[in-house]
Chain A
Amino acid sequence: MPDPIVETLRARFGDAITGVVEFRGETTIHVWPEAIGDVCMFLRDADAASYDFLSDVSAVDAWPDEPRFQVNYHLYSMTRNTRLRLKASVRDGQSLPSVAGVWPAANWFERETYDLFGVKFDNHPDLRRLLLPDDYLGHPLRRDAPLVVEEVEFTHNFDEVEARKPYARE
């Protein structure tokens, strides 16, 4: 049984709603990346929706498929006691509007997504790396980022690997 909000959204946003998926009782609404800010604002404020709580923002890397990043927004409505997932797919380098203005909770979630995937959020108040050091290069949760980055040192190649290691040297 799909959430009745789906029809409301289709009527309001038309083509911006590109698909609805039901899986194991969870509703996923695919949204155009450009429209995500407006859709979120509507879902928060409309009485029929009142999704007043943002549980989570994260991304999935579908590499090598394109558009590779699916950004997921997990919403919860206190009054209606329902959950909803919004999904916006972006290519590498394409940015999304930030929803930190809709739910302040998105601030850190989006920073984390930017940090680990390199998905940029427009008009984010403070889009810096969150978990990784500021001088880290790359985004480790991309599927094409290697799991092990540092070379393993053995006794036979210890000096050789040490010489290549990028330490902060005086």
Chain B
Amino acid sequence: MTTVAPPRSISMTFDELKGLVSERAFSGETLLLNMGPQHPSTHGVLRLLLELDGEQVVSCVPDIGYLHTGIEKTCESKTYTKVIPLTDRMDYLSPMSNNLGYVMAVEKLMDVDVPLRAQYIRVILCELQRIASHLVWLGTHAIDLAAMSMLLYCFREREMILDIFEMVSGQRMMASYFRIGGLWRDVPEGFEDAVRQFMRLFPSRIDEYEALLRKNPLWLSRTQGIGAIAGQDALAWGMTGPSLRGSGVNWDIRKAQPYSGYDHFDFDVPLGENGDVYDRYWCRMQEFRQSLRIVDQALKKLPKGPVITGDRKVAPPPKEELAWSMESLIHHFKLWTEGFSPPPGEVYVSVESPRGEFGCYVNSDGSPKPRRVHFRTPSFANLAALPLMAKGVLVADVVALIGSIDVVLGDIDR
């Protein structure tokens, strides 16, 4: 089967540009510049077609899809459990949040209850993931704006979190630790100490980051007042997460529609005012501290008990039971060969990932494989608003803008 058309002549591509860039580009009055796909500031493989008047951006046309791997198509040929590792690989900086969104969707479809201990551990790991993800954002965003040393400090602290992930799941990044109905296993001994140690250290490190950036006039002049977007516009364009809250819109799914026990914890939602690069930076910096607050409370309240549901149609029985229980052996065999079959129906569940609303739509036709899985990824919608924000800024500010909306291209292209 042939899926690639024969190569076309160059003149057709000029026609395609019509409507995307202004008429002035065709007379040569403005300059068309390709930024990317291999540009270091694009945090992946993103191509921007910039139309420039001098150094000012007249229009910006993002071209995405370089990392498209057809994850949604692949999901349709996997059993429900086997989709979990795929979700890690979309937003590779926040696999835990992706796992959570997906397993919660399937739990809703199956109507399964998750033990409280599992819910709290999920919250702890997701908040640590938020910190780790924001650390990568802070480091790369700062290095884009020539603050070289930030990256090294941020990655130093991120390493501590990745060590905790390795401790619980055996994997630093692609943890796949959450299971439908709970967790793969309980957290090991020493988990709480490791988290506590990180929490003792981290507040002073946040102060260090702020000391490095907040009084730096070069940093301030490249972030304050750059790429401002009004709250109404940001909302209409589907922006979510800190990029939306930087514009002063108070919407955090953890507060608005609490899930996984977030309503048991006390935390604030930091809001910006101007919606510029600096306010988005400020929101994320505050979220570091709020995440620490949540982790602290969750650790204190962490109940004892099972970490996965007792529903054997969804969760495998304990290994030792296989030696003496016929039913357990059957359940285990069924789960590993066929999987489980949710009732026909569809659900949409969204969680607050470090980048915004991560939504997961699962459609079941009653078979052990999903008919359709769709991921509403936050970076996708956030990037769609880039042309609006980029209008009128300087080329160098586009770099700051991309950094400030914290896009992950794996998340966009899926």
Contacts and interface: CB of A to CB of B under 8 A. Distances in A.
B384 A105 contact: yes
B73 A147 contact: yes
B374 A107 contact: no
A133 B7 CA distance: 12
Contact of A140 (B6, B73, B348): B73
Contacts of B357: 55
A141 interface: yes
A136 B3 contact: yes
B65 A131 contact: yes
B20 A126 contact: yes
Contacts of A135: 4-5, 7-8
Interface stretch (A30-38, A77-85, A153-161): A77-85
A85 B381 CA distance: 18
Contact of B5 (A126, A137, A140, A141): A137
B42 interface: no
Interface hub of B7, B345, B374, B414 (most chain A Cβ within 10 A): B374
A27 to B, nearest CB: 11
A28 interface: yes
A131 B411 CA distance: 12
Interface in A61-112: 61-62, 72, 74, 78, 81, 83, 85, 103-105, 107-109, 112
A52 B361 CA distance: 20
Contacts of B77: 147
Given A131-B64, A137-B2, A141-B73, A105 B361 contact: no
A49 interface: no
Contact of B347 (A26, A54, A140, A168): A26
Contact of B384 (A61, A85, A108): A108
A26 B238 CA distance: 21
Interface string B222-262: 00000000000001111000000000010100001100000
Interface of A is mostly: loop
Contact of A137 (B3, B72, B73, B372): B3
B349 to A, nearest CB: 9
A149 B64 contact: no
Contact of B65 (A107, A130, A145, A147): A130
Interface string B172-198: 000000000000000000000000000
Interface in B359-411: 359, 361, 363, 371-372, 374, 376, 380-381, 384
A85 B363 CA distance: 13
A60 B235 contact: no
B72 A55 contact: no
A13 interface: no
A135 to B, nearest CB: 4
Contacts of A112: 380
B3 A104 contact: no
26 contacts: A24-B108, A24-B109, A24-B111, A24-B345, A24-B347, A26-B346, A53-B251, A55-B359, A60-B371, A74-B376, A81-B256, A103-B236, A105-B237, A109-B381, A116-B72, A131-B413, A134-B16, A135-B7, A136-B4, A140-B70, A141-B73, A146-B1, A147-B76, A149-B3, A166-B2, A166-B6
Given A74-B348, A137-B4, 19 more contacts: A53-B238, A72-B348, A78-B251, A85-B346, A85-B348, A105-B236, A105-B237, A108-B384, A116-B72, A129-B65, A131-B65, A134-B16, A136-B3, A137-B2, A138-B3, A140-B70, A147-B76, A149-B3, A169-B7
* Closest 8 pairs (CB-CB, A-B): A105-B238, A131-B65, A56-B376, A108-B384, A58-B374, A135-B5, A131-B68, A60-B372
